[in-house]
């Protein structure tokens, strides 16, 4: 049983940026905030941000123009593939969590459906 398995900050930053790209919040070609700005908003050292961006660079998610900044890749396939993979991960994580609570896959699905139905009923009273 492993306790305290701290995800490194630079990885957290990477993951957050990847999500923003995949989600469309950061569009292809968009310029990222400067390394120093990110360091401030994340309340983290400049080097830590740079390490994250360096990784994203090597993974193809962003590209760097020296003296100008970092930009989101135009490789739509990469973005689509990543999104698919992240979704699959979220699904399996959910199923595993539910299994830990004693619910098999189809039961987990039923619980989700049940939740959504209730939510929509409540939602109706809001508009």
Partner DNA sequence: GTGGTCTAGACCACA
Partner DNA sequence: GTGGTCTAGACCACG
* Contact residues: DNA, CB under 7 A: 2-6, 8-11, 32, 34-37, 44-48, 50-51, 53-54, 57, 64, 66-70
The DSSP-derived string for 59-81 is: HTSEEEETTTEEEE---HHHHHH
Count of other CB atoms within 10 angstroms of residue 86: 15
Q: How far is the CB of 59 from its own copies (least distance, A)?
A: 10
Q: How far apart are CA 36 and CA 22, in angstroms?
A: 23
Q: Which residues bind its own copies (CB under 8 A)?
A: 1, 3-7, 9, 12, 19, 22-24, 41-44, 58, 83, 86-88, 90-95, 97-98, 100-103, 105-106, 109, 111-113, 115-116, 119
């Amino acid at each position: 049983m492993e306790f305290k398995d701290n995800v490194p900050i630079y990885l957290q930053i990477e993951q957050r940026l990847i999500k923003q790209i995949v989600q469309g919040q950061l569009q292809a070609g968009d310029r990222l905030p400067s390394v120093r700005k990110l360091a401030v908003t994340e309340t983290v050292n400049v080097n830590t941000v740079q390490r994250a961006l360096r990784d994203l660079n090597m993974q193809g998610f962003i590209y760097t123009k020296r003296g100008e900044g970092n930009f989101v890749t135009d490789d739509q396939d990469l973005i689509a593939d990543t999104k698919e993979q992240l979704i699959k991960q979220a699904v399996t994580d959910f199923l595993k969590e539910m299994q830990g609570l004693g619910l098999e896959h189809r039961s987990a699905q039923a619980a989700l459906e049940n939740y959504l139905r209730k939510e929509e009923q409540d939602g109706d009273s809001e508009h």
